[in-house]
Amino acid sequence: MALSVTLHLLILGIALAGWSWTSTDHEPPPRSISARLITQQEPEPSPVVEPVDQQKLDEER
């Protein structure tokens, strides 16, 4: 049991020593990321279908 207590105290001592040796410098905040959408060409509008043309297309089907 003395060996277990000794090893636990050793681990605790190493952990505390490592924690106290760490630097307290804070990391700089990350740089902001900006993005923009680049398109090659303007999208073409869909053709307008008039009601008369729509009826003809429906009859052909």
pLDDT of 2 reads 93
Q: Is the pTM of this model over 0.75?
A: no
pLDDT tens for residues 2-61? 999 999 999 999 998 887 776 667 777 778 888 787 777 777 777 776 666 666 667 766
CA angle 52, 55, 60 (to 5 degrees): 130
pLDDT of 46 reads 73
Q: Give domain limits for the chain.
A: 1-56
Structure-token match 């043309």, residue found = 53
CA gap 51, 59 in Å, rounded? 12
pLDDT of 60 reads 64
pLDDT of 33 reads 81
